[in-house]
C-alpha cells in the first residue's frame, strides 16, 4: 500500500509556510474585527444614550461612565492589537513580503509561528478578562500577560521582516528598487522595534492605574504617559503600511511609476520619526508650558507637510492616467477622502496649542478616526480586494463588493461628520440620530462583507492571471494564482 500524501494544508504548516501564517493572521483579524465592531456599536449606542439623557436634563451615573471606559478601552485594544496590526503587518506582510522580494520564506519561519501563537494567546487572555469576574490582582496578571505576549509577538514580526528585507532580496533587487509596500513595512518595523521594548519596561507601574488605582494622581499621569508613548508611534505603524498599500495599488492601476517615489519614501521616514517623538508633548502637558508646547507647535506642520506631499504624489500619478474603475480603486478613493478629512482637521493643531485642546472632545475623536483608524481599515479592504485573486485564485462579486464599499463609506462618514458639527446651530438630537444611523449602516456592511466572503469561496469564480491589467508587474504577480509553492527557484533580476 502506498502512503497517503500529505494535504497541502498540513504540508504548508509543517513547512512553516509564510503564506499559511499570513492567512492565519487574516483569519484572526476578521474574528477580532467582528468582536471589535460589536464593542464599537455598543459604545456608539451607550454614548447616544448618555447624550440624549443630557439633553433631557439628566446626568450620567458612575456606572455609565464605567461602561463607557470599559467599552472604549476594549474597542481600542481589540482593533489595534488584534485587527489592524495583524492584518497589515502579520497578514499582508507575511503573505507578500517574501513574494515581492523573490525569497522562498521569511528569515525565521519557526519564529513566525511563535509570533502568531503568542498573539492568539494574548487575544484569548483578553477575551477571558472580558467574560470572567475577577479581582484587581487577577485582572493585573491577565492584563500584563496579554500585553506582554502581544508585545513580544510584534517584536518577533518586526525583527523577522527587517532581516528578511535586508538579507533575502533576490539577486539584482537593490534597496532602491524595492516596491513601495516593502519600504513601508521596513520603516514601520524599525519604528516598532524602538517603542515596543520601551513600553514593555514601563507597563508594570502604569498598569496600577488601570487595575488597582492606588494613587490616582500619580497613576493617572503614568497611565496617560504610557498610553500616549505607545499610541503615537503605534498609529504610524498602522498608517505607514496603509500608505504603502495605497501607493502599490495606484502604481498598478495607473501603469506608471509613483511620482517622486524616492521623496515619498523620505516623507514616510519623516512621518515615522515625528510620530516617535510626538509623545513628548504629553510629557510636558503635566509640567506646564515650555519645550513641550514648542514641540507640539512644530510637530503637526512637519507631519502635515509629509502627508500632503504623499497625497500630492498620488494625485500627480493619477493625473492623466486612463483608469478602469475596479473594486480596489473604490477603496483607494475612499482612503483618499478619509485622509483629506483628517488632514483638514489636523491643520487646526498648527494654530491650537496642546494645552488649549481637549483630547476628549468629539472633534478630536473624529480627527483621530479619520486620519488614522479609518484610513487603516480602508487600506486593509483595498489590499484584500487587490490581492484576493492572487491569494485564492478567485474573484469576488463586483456588485456585492460595491455594496460593501458604499455601505461602509456612507456609514463611517455618518458616524464621525456629526462629531465635527458638535456645538453648531444644528440640534444635537439630529446629530445623534445621524450618528446612530451611520453605526447601524456600518454594522450592515460587516454582514455584507461576510456574505461576499462566503459567496467568493462557494461560487469559485476563477480569476485571470493579471486581473488588474499589465500594471501589476511586481514579483508576486509573476507566480501562479494562488502561489502554492512560492519561489522554488530564487529569481534573478536585471535592470
What does the alpha-carbon distance between residue 370 and residue 374 come to, in Å, rounded to a whole number? 5
For residue 297, pLDDT over 50 is answered with yes
CA-CA distance, 272 to 410, in Å (whole number)? Answer: 30
Sign (positive/negative) of CA torsion 110, 114, 119, 123? positive
For the packed helices 109-131 and 18-55, what is the interaxial angle rounded to 10 degrees?
30
Per-residue pLDDT tens for 7-56? 555 555 666 788 999 999 999 999 999 988 888 877 777 666 655 454 44
- Position 126 confidence tier, pLDDT thresholds 50, 70, 90: confident
CA distance 186 to 329: 25
Q: What is the mean pLDDT of the chain?
A: 79
249-279 per-position pLDDT tens digit? 999 998 888 998 889 999 998 888 777 766 5
* Cβ neighbours around 270 below 10 Å, total: 16
pLDDT tens profile 411-430: 999 988 887 776 544 566 67
Pair 332, 407: CB distance under 8 Å: no
Place of cell 513574494: 99
pLDDT of 495 higher than 60: no
Mean pLDDT of 100-117: 91
Please count the CA atoms within 13 angstroms of the CA of 133 that sit on its side-chain side.
0
The Cα-based distances of 457 to 87, 281, 328, 404, 484 in angstroms read 20, 49, 19, 17, 17
Quick one: CA torsion of 315, 331, 244, 148, rounded to 10 degrees?
150
Q: Return the minimum-mean-pLDDT range out of 177-181, 225-229, 487-491.
A: 225-229
> CB atoms < 10 A from the CB of 372, how many?
22
pLDDT in tens, 182-225: 999 999 999 888 878 877 766 665 555 444 444 444 455 555 55
- pLDDT tens for each residue of 57-103: 444 444 556 666 667 777 778 888 899 999 999 999 999 999 999 88
> When comparing pLDDT for 391 and 283, which is higher?
391
What DSSP character marks residue 288? -
Q: Alpha carbon 192 to chain centroid distance? A: 13
The pLDDT of residue 55: 46
Alpha-carbon span 302 to 295, nearest angstrom: 11
Q: How many CB atoms lie within 10 A of CB 462?
A: 9
Instruction: Kindly tell me if the per-residue pLDDT of 229 is higher than 80.
Output: no
Report pLDDT for 143. Answer: 72
Where does residue 424 fall: left (phi above 0), alpha (psi -120 to 50 degrees), or beta otherwise? beta
For residue 205, what are the contacts with CB-CB under 8 A and spacing of at least 6? 222
Q: How far apart are CA 425 and CA 417, in angstroms?
A: 15
Q: How far apart are CA 397 and CA 188, in angstroms?
A: 33
Give tens-digit pLDDT for 165-176: 999 898 888 888
Q: Are 392 and 482 in contact (CB under 8 A)?
A: yes
Contacts of 490 (CB under 8 A, 6+ apart): 102, 103, 104, 170, 171
**Which residues, in sequence order, are bridge partners of residue 394?**
462
What pLDDT sits at residue 185?
A: 95
- Cα separation, 163 vs 184, whole angstroms: 15
Q: What is the pLDDT of residue 451?
A: 96
Which of 382, 424, 389, 422 is closest to 404 using CA atoms? 382
Amino acid at each position: 500500500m502506498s502512503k497517503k500524501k500529505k494535504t497541502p494544508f498540513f504540508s504548508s504548516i509543517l513547512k512553516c509556510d509564510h503564506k499559511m501564517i499570513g492567512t492565519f493572521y487574516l483569519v484572526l483579524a476578521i474574528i477580532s474585527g467582528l468582536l471589535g465592531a460589536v464593542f464599537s456599536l455598543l459604545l456608539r449606542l451607550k454614548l447616544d444614550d448618555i447624550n440624549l439623557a443630557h439633553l433631557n436634563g439628566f446626568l450620567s451615573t458612575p456606572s455609565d461612565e464605567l461602561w463607557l471606559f470599559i467599552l472604549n478601552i476594549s474597542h481600542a485594544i481589540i482593533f489595534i492589537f488584534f485587527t489592524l496590526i495583524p492584518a497589515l503587518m502579520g497578514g499582508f506582510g507575511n503573505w507578500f513580503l517574501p513574494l515581492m522580494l523573490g525569497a522562498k520564506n521569511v528569515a525565521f519561519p519557526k519564529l513566525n509561528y511563535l509570533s502568531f501563537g503568542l498573539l492568539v494567546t494574548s487575544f484569548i487572555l483578553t477575551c477571558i478578562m472580558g467574560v470572567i469576574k475577577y479581582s484587581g490582582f487577577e485582572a493585573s496578571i491577565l492584563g500584563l500577560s496579554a500585553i506582554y505576549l502581544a508585545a513580544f509577538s510584534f517584536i518577533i514580526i518586526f525583527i523577522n521582516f527587517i532581516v528578511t528585507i535586508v538579507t533575502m532580496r533576490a539577486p539584482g533587487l537593490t534597496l532602491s528598487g524595492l516596491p513601495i509596500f516593502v519600504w513601508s513595512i521596513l520603516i514601520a518595523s524599525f519604528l516598532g522595534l524602538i517603542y515596543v521594548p520601551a513600553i514593555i519596561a514601563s507597563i508594570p507601574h502604569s498598569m496600577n492605574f488601570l487595575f488597582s488605582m492606588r494613587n490616582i494622581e500619580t497613576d493617572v499621569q503614568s497611565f496617560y504617559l504610557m498610553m500616549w508613548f505607545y499610541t503615537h508611534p503605534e498609529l504610524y505603524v498602522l498608517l505607514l503600511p496603509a500608505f504603502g498599500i495605497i501607493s502599490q495599488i495606484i502604481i498598478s492601476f495607473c501603469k506608471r511609476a509613483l511620482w517622486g517615489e524616492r521623496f515619498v519614501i523620505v516623507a514616510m521616514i519623516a512621518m515615522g520619526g515625528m510620530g516617535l517623538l510626538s509623545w513628548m508633548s504629553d510629557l510636558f502637558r503635566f509640567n506646564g508650558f515650555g519645550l513641550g508646547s514648542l514641540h507640539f507647535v512644530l510637530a503637526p506642520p512637519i507631519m502635515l507637510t509629509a502627508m500632503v506631499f504623499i497625497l500630492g504624489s498620488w494625485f500627480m500619478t493619477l493625473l492623466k492616467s486612463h483608469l478602469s474603475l475596479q473594486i480596489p480603486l473604490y477603496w483607494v478613493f475612499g482612503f483618499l477622502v478619509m485622509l483629506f478629512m483628517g488632514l483638514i482637521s489636523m491643520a487646526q493643531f498648527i494654530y491650537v496649542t496642546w494645552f488649549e485642546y481637549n483630547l476628549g472632545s468629539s472633534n478630536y475623536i473624529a480627527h483621530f478616526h479619520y486620519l488614522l483608524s479609518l484610513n487603516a481599515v480602508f487600506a486593509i479592504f483595498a489590499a484584500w480586494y487587490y490581492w484576493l485573486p492572487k491569494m485564492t485564485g478567485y474573484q469576488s462579486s463586483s456588485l456585492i463588493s460595491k455594496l460593501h464599499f458604499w455601505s461602509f463609506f456612507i456609514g463611517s462618514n455618518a458616524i464621525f461628520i456629526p462629531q465635527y458639527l458638535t456645538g453648531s446651530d444644528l440640534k444635537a438630537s439630529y446629530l445623534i440620530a445621524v450618528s446612530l444611523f451611520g453605526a447601524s449602516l456600518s454594522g450592515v456592511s460587516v454582514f455584507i462583507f461576510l456574505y461576499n466572503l462566503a459567496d467568493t469561496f462557494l461560487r469559485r469564480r476563477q480569476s485571470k492571471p493579471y486581473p488588474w491589467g499589465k500594471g501589476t508587474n511586481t514579483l508576486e504577480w509573476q507566480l501562479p494564482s494562488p502561489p502554492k509553492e512560492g519561489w522554488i527557484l530564487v529569481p534573478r533580476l536585471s535592470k
